[in-house]
């Protein structure tokens, strides 16, 4: 991931996009980078993950490391982005208010095709290309990396591609040229899309579909992040034996339990074996799904399931995992 | 995820929670009640909304209802669960379901663009329809603008309802809602579109096309003039012209849009409708569910209850997690003196697996308990996690049975 400045993180709903995006931002910051973590769907997932007050349209510092790395967060809002945009390019102080009253802002951000998405990506684009110099494009970049907690796989291609569509629709004017430069940035080698999945059938299917769509649309793919992976708890050979010789195994379990003073009702013994059976099925399914993910030919990162959830420093544990797997 | 499908065994803590928990939803009574005409499943993405909707559909059909399930999901998940190879914009019958009980099951997936096209065709003259369908602005609006999915879902629900009343095809409609960005977008969509259509901006856009020339200047203030100029400058003149043509062309049917949206909204408030909020036993999903519940309450929408999917259950509930972990440790300590046969290490491994599952079950119970405490009086049913994913009718039946069991 060397040289990547925009990390777009997508995945099916519920797979932990926000968690992974947060862990990635934290991992990058541990390398001493200044990282901006942005969400665009107003869900306040970042503020919940880092346990800070709800984020607004101002960038807020979330984490500082002794080594100089930082994570900042922002919740990008289409309406605010449009007003900021109008102000920046047209100095529309008063007219901006008039537009608001006329319902133009609502129109542009909720009804007009794709404008909302253009504005959201536009704000991300602005952050990626922002420099610390007093004039545009001068001095070092403000952010070493921007991590975008993006819309889910079902919408991601359309979301990233919206600028192409808008450039077709608005054939001239500033929106047109803005759309074109955004498209250039998104297809640039400095931008990659990471797809988060779980080892469950539908998320994996959506991951494969999204990889196909994104690469057809010309976007660079980064990694597949397999989230919430469980360590196999029971040796495979033992699981096979348990399936093949249930009676002998049950007898052994009963004896072992009795030996350490656990009152072993028949129901408990068969229950334990039932749990092992389900575990074996799950392990088998996960193995075939892992193969499917691997067949996509992208680098894979693996994050463990955290028994206590992501509360209480879970994100830091995941960031460590990512660093351990070579994320730079 | 590791409970056997169909297993209803619960951990002792869950059983304890059940005693203090609120009523379950009473799914079978809800499905059997001839007055239940619409069930809306809503919730965050990835919590099993579509599966829940499909499972409710299957169970209702097998209880003798004539059901149509409407899903709005680009991943075609319902198609997979129902073993259908293709779901288009018309309801398809799912064979072999419910015939014995006198019921039937149809399923369909919403095709946004096609629904929009149908609306245009049904409410304008052929020439006007052709003009609208060819407009570049319409083409992107109909397939991509934020809220189209939600709006068209409501439109389709209205259509299905009308068809059900007209032809007597169905007596129960189960709706799976779009994976909305924010919780109740599908409720807001009609209102938002309505208020936009009533707004001054739309009149500003249509005025020049209608009256021609600069007549609209008289109608609006100076602010409006600035606005028109600005819009033109920002969007580009050509896009504005497309928008104006589009809006003018749609103008005549907008009234109808609005009216039907209002009718559907009112329909959702009727007692014949039941909202089922779907969640998973995780912090975020339940937080979203809480938001749905509060929002439905404040809108006066009839809430049937909350379904929490994928609850970890234990097959050996009598053995506590901590006891299992302690026993595993004891066995491992002894292990070195034991003869090393092919079953060495098996029992400790099974105990550790059990302890792990018990920890997950405890966490799930805790999340649900906190939700219940915060929402007294809201019925809640849980569905045990199954070992593998659900993608066939048998799996849907199992989920349906678990839903009914509470």
Q: Which residue of B has its CA nearest to A161?
A: B144
Q: Please report which helix (H) or strand (E) contains residue B275, including its range.
A: strand B273-279
Q: A58 pLDDT exceeds 70? A: yes
Which of B:304-363 have CB within 8 Å of A? 314-319, 323, 327, 330-331, 334, 342-343, 345-354, 356-357, 359-360, 363
Q: Does B353 contact A234 at a Cβ distance shorter than 8 Å?
A: yes
Q: Which residues of B touch A103 (CB under 8 A)?
A: 195-196, 199-202
Token couple for A293: 């993910």
What token pair was written down for B304?
A: 């049937």
Query: Which of B196, B350, B357 is nearest residue A253 as measured by Cβ atoms?
Result: B350
Q: Which whole-number Å values give the CA distances from B301 to A173, B40, B56, B249, in the listed order?
A: 45, 11, 20, 35
Question: Residue A22 corresponds to which tokens in the numbers above?
Answer: 């947060």
B70 within 8 A of B186, measured Cβ to Cβ: no
Q: Which of B79, B61, B83, B62 lies closest to B70 in space, CA to CA?
A: B79
- For residue A20, which of A35, A10, A6, A5 has the smallest C-alpha distance? A10
Higher pLDDT among residues A131 and B308, named by residue: B308
User: What residue in A sits closest to B313 (Cα-Cα)?
Assistant: A275
- Cβ distance B144 to A262 less than 8 Å, yes or no, reads no
* Chain B hits for A99, Cβ within 8 Å: 227, 230-231
Q: Name the minimum distance, in Å, from the CA of A3 to any CA of chain B.
A: 31
Name the A residues in 79-138 with CB < 8 Å from any B CB: 86, 90, 92, 95, 98-99, 101-104, 106-107, 110-114, 116-117
pTM: 0.80
Of A154, A175, A309, the CB nearest to B75: A154
Chain A contact set for B223 (CB, 8 A): 95, 98, 101-102
The tens digit of pLDDT for each residue in A186-236 reads: 999 999 999 999 998 889 989 999 999 999 999 999 999 999 998 888 888
A288 touches chain B (CB under 8 A): no
Least confident among A271-280, B129-138, B272-281, B294-303: B129-138
CA A278, CA B387: separation in Å to the nearest integer?
A: 6
Q: How confident is the model at residue B249 (pLDDT cuts 50, 70, 90)?
A: low
Range with lowest mean pLDDT among A41-45, B40-44, B54-58, B119-123: B119-123
Nearest to B318 among A202, A259, A267 (CB): A267
- Answer for the pair A10, A210: CB distance below 8 angstroms, yes or no: yes
Lowest pLDDT segment from A73-87, B98-112, B161-175, B288-302 = A73-87
Higher pLDDT, B361 or B10: B361
Chain A residues near residue B81 by CB distance under 8 angstroms: none
Does residue A278 sit in helix, strand or coil?
helix
- The interface predicted TM-score (ipTM) is 0.78
Q: What angle do CA B238, B243, B247 make, to 5 degrees?
A: 150
Q: CB of A242 within 8 Å of any CB in chain B? A: yes
- Name A290's Cβ contacts closer than 8 Å, sequence gap at least 6: A199, A226
Q: What is the mean pLDDT of chain B?
A: 78
């Amino acid at each position: 991931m060397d040289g990547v400045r925009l990390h777009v993180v997508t995945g099916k709903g519920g797979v932990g996009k926000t968690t992974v995006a947060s862990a990635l931002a934290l991992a990058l910051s541990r390398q001493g980078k200044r990282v901006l973590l942005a969400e665009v769907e107003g869900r306040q997932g970042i503020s919940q993950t880092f346990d800070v007050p709800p984020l607004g349209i101002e960038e807020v510092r979330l984490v500082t490391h002794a080594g100089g790395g930082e994570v900042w967060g922002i919740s990008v809002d289409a309406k605010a982005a449009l007003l900021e945009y109008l102000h920046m390019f047209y100095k529309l102080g008063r007219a901006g208010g008039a537009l608001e009253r006329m319902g133009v802002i609502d129109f542009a951000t909720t009804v007009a095709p794709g404008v909302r998405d253009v504005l959201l990506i536009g704000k991300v684009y602005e952050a990626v290309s922002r420099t610390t110099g007093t004039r545009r494009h001068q001095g070092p970049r403000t952010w070493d990396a921007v991590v975008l907690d993006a819309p889910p796989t079902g919408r991601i291609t359309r979301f990233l591609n919206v600028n192409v569509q808008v450039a077709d629709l608005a054939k001239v004017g500033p929106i047109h040229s803005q759309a074109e430069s955004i498209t250039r940035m998104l297809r640039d080698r400095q931008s990659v899309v990471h797809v988060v999945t779980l080892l469950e059938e539908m998320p994996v299917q959506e991951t494969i579909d999204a990889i196909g769509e994104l690469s057809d649309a010309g976007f660079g793919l980064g990694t597949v992040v397999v989230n919430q992976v469980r360590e196999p708890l029971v040796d495979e050979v033992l699981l096979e034996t348990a399936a093949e010789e249930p009676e002998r195994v049950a007898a052994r379990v009963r004896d072992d339990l009795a030996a350490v003073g656990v009152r072993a009702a028949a129901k408990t013994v068969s229950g334990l074996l039932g749990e092992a059976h389900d575990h074996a099925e799950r392990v088998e399914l996960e193995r075939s799904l892992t193969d499917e993910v691997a067949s996509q030919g992208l680098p894979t990162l693996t994050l463990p399931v955290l028994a206590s959830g992501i509360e209480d420093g879970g994100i830091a544990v995941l960031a460590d995992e990512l660093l351990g797997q070579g994320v730079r | 995820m590791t409970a056997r499908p169909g297993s209803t065994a619960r951990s002792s803590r869950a059983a304890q929670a059940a005693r203090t928990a609120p009523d379950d939803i009473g799914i079978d009574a809800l499905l059997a009640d001839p007055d239940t005409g619409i069930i809306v499943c809503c919730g965050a993405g990835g919590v099993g909304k579509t599966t829940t909707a499909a499972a409710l559909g299957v169970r209702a059909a097998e209880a003798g209802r004539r059901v149509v399930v409407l899903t709005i999901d680009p991943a075609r998940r319902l198609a997979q669960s129902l073993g259908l190879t293709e779901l288009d914009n018309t309801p398809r019958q799912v064979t072999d379901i419910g015939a014995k009980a006198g019921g039937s099951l149809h399923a369909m997936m919403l095709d946004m663009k096609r629904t929009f096209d149908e609306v245009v065709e049904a409410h304008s003259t052929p020439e006007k329809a052709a003009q609208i369908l060819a407009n570049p602005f319409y083409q992107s609006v109909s397939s991509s603008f934020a809220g189209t999915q939600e709006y068209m879902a409501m439109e389709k629900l209205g259509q299905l309802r009308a068809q059900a009343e007209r032809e007597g095809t169905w007596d129960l409609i189960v709706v799976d809602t779009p994976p909305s960005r924010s919780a109740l977008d599908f409720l807001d969509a009609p209102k938002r579109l309505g208020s936009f259509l009533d707004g001054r901006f739309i009149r500003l856009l249509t005025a020049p096309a209608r009256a021609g020339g600069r007549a609209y200047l008289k109608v609006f203030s100076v602010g409006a003039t600035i606005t028109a100029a600005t819009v033109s400058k920002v969007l580009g003149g050509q896009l504005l012209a497309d928008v104006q043509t589009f809006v003018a062309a749609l103008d005549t049917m907008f009234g109808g849009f609005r009216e039907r949206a209002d009718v559907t909204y009112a329909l959702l408030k009727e007692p014949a409708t039941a909202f089922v909020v779907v969640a998973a036993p995780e912090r975020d999903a339940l937080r979203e569910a809480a938001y749905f519940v509060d929002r439905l309450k404040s809108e006066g929408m009839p809430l049937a209850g909350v379904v929490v999917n994928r609850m970890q259950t234990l097959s050996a509930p009598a053995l506590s997690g901590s006891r299992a972990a302690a026993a595993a440790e004891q066995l491992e300590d002894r292990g070195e003196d034991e003869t090393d046969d092919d079953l060495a290490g098996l029992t400790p491994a099974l105990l550790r697996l059990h302890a792990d599952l018990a920890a997950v079950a405890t966490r799930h119970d805790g999340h649900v308990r906190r939700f219940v405490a915060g929402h007294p009086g809201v019925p809640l049913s849980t569905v045990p996690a199954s070992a593998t994913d659900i993608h066939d009718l048998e799996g849907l039946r199992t989920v349906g049975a678990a839903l009914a069991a509470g």
